[in-house]
């Protein structure tokens, strides 16, 4: 079949093919997050809306709902410009492995899809996965400003400390919206 002109690369006189420039997707308007899907680690979870505790710390889902993730609603919603933050438990004494049990296994390029209350799916690609001691949590990197729509997914990590009943680290997935 003859090739249609649309399939021809754009050629500028004397320069050869023009490199395709990645145009970042347009930011979305505000809408609450309703579900999160992370195929690599089998996550398909409801998202509850969270705020801050009276002491200024970020709320987390109740342990009896450890299969649900939580969206930090004082910050941007997924798809808006800035860092949308979604938190979840790694496990719970009652339920065992929780929503983000395998979060640390994510790799660069993995897809995270957040479906919003307006029905729009914001799709993010993982840039990196890092672990930080809770005592030096990168608040600015997670909750600080960003000039593009991004996502931060946070859970606990490290070796569970029986004495304190908690994990010493936070695992943070950094992702950027692709569609």
End-to-end Cα, the chain, rounded Å: 32
Domain CATH number, residue 153: 2.40.260.10
The answer as to whether 18 is a domain residue is no
Which band of pLDDT confidence, cut at 50, 70 and 90, is reported for residue 92?
Answer: confident
Q: Which tens digits make up the pLDDT trace of 122-140?
A: 999 999 999 999 999 999 9
The answer as to whether 8 is a domain residue is no
CB within 8 Å of 139: residues ≥ 6 apart:
none
3-state DSSP call for residue 66?
coil
Which band of pLDDT confidence, cut at 50, 70 and 90, is reported for residue 93?
Answer: confident
The whole-angstrom separation of Cα 100 and Cα 96 is: 11
| pLDDT of the residue at 166 | 84
For 41-66, give one letter per residue: b (16+ CB within 10 A) or e: eebebebbebeeeeeeebebbeeebb
Which band of pLDDT confidence, cut at 50, 70 and 90, is reported for residue 1?
Answer: low
The answer as to whether 21 is a domain residue is no
The whole-angstrom separation of Cα 8 and Cα 26 is: 27
Q: Which two tokens stand for residue 7?
A: 């399939």
The answer as to whether 123 is a domain residue is yes
The answer as to whether 71 is a domain residue is yes
Q: Is the pLDDT of residue 4 over 80?
A: no
| pLDDT of the residue at 12 | 47
The answer as to whether 15 is a domain residue is no
The answer as to whether 13 is a domain residue is no
Q: What is the mean pLDDT of the chain?
A: 88
The answer as to whether 7 is a domain residue is no
Which band of pLDDT confidence, cut at 50, 70 and 90, is reported for residue 26?
Answer: confident
| pLDDT of the residue at 2 | 46
Q: Which domain holds residue 124?
A: 30-177
Nearest Cα to Cα of residue 95 among 36, 45, 152: 45
Number of independent structural domains in the chain: 1
């Amino acid at each position: 079949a003859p090739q249609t002109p649309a399939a021809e690369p754009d050629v500028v006189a004397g320069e050869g093919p023009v490199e395709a420039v990645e145009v970042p997707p347009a930011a979305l308007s505000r809408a609450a997050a309703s579900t999160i899907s992370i195929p690599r680690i089998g996550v398909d979870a409801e998202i509850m809306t969270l705020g801050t505790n009276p002491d200024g710390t970020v709320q987390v889902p109740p342990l009896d709902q450890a299969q649900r993730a939580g969206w930090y609603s004082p910050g941007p919603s997924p798809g808006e410009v800035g860092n949308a933050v979604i938190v979840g438990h790694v496990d719970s004494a009652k339920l065992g492995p929780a929503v983000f049990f395998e979060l640390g296994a994510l790799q660069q390029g993995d897809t995270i899809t957040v479906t919003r209350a307006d029905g729009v799916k914001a799709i993010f690609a993982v840039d990196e996965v890092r672990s930080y001691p809770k005592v030096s949590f990168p608040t600015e990197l997670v909750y600080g400003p960003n000039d593009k729509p991004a996502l931060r997914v946070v859970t606990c990590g490290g070796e569970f400390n029986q004495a304190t009943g908690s994990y010493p680290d936070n695992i943070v997935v950094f992702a950027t919206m692709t569609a």
